[in-house]
Amino acid sequence: MAIIKTIRGFTPIFGSNCFLADNAVVVGEVTMGNNCTVWFNAVLRGDVHSITIGDDTNIQDGAIIHCTYQKAKTIIGNKVSVAHNAIIHGCTIEDNVLIGMGAIVMDDAVIGSGSVIAAGAIVLPGTKVEAGSIYAGIPAKKVKDTGQEMKLVIERTAKNYPMYAEWYK
C-alpha cells in the first residue's frame, strides 16, 4: 500500500480513479486530479510547499516531485507524463507535456504546453520553455519544434498510463 502522510496539517487530496503503486510516497500539501497514476518508488513531497497536479497525469517509477520552502511551489497540468527517475522541483509544467527519463526541471522554470524535455536534460532555474518545443541537453536548450509525430507520442503516453494502472487493480 502506498505511503500517504499528513505533514504540517496537510493531507494529500486525490481525484477519482487515481492509482498509487504499492511503494509510491505522497505526503503533505499535494492535490491530484482525476485518472492520475503514481508509479513504483515515485515520491511527491509536499512538505515545504504545495504540489498541484491536473487530470490524466502520470508520475512514473522513481520520479521525485518537490518544491522550495516559502519560494517555489510545483504545478503540473493535465495529460503530463513525468518519465522514470525525472526530478520536478518548484516549477510549472503546463498541459500535454512529456518530461523524459532522468530529466531535471528546476525552480521557477515554466514548461509550455505541448513541449518535450528530452531524457537527461537539465532545465535550469527560471527557464521559460516555449509551447510546442523540444528542449535537450545540459543546460537544456531548444532543439526544434514538436512535430505531429511527437505530439502523438505525448498523447499516447498520457493515454496509456491509466490503462497500465488497470492491470494492477
CB atoms within 10 A of CB 13: 12
Cβ(106)–Cβ(122) below 8 Å: yes
* Secondary-structure class of domain 3-168 per CATH: mainly beta
Kindly give the confidence (pLDDT) of every residue in the chain, 169 residues in length, as a single tens digit, with 9 standing for 90 and above: 999 999 999 999 999 999 999 999 999 999 999 999 999 999 999 999 999 999 999 999 999 999 999 999 999 999 999 999 999 999 999 999 999 999 999 999 999 999 999 999 999 999 999 999 999 999 999 999 999 999 999 999 999 999 999 999 8
| pLDDT for the residue numbered 106 | 98
| pLDDT for the residue numbered 169 | 86
| pLDDT for the residue numbered 168 | 94
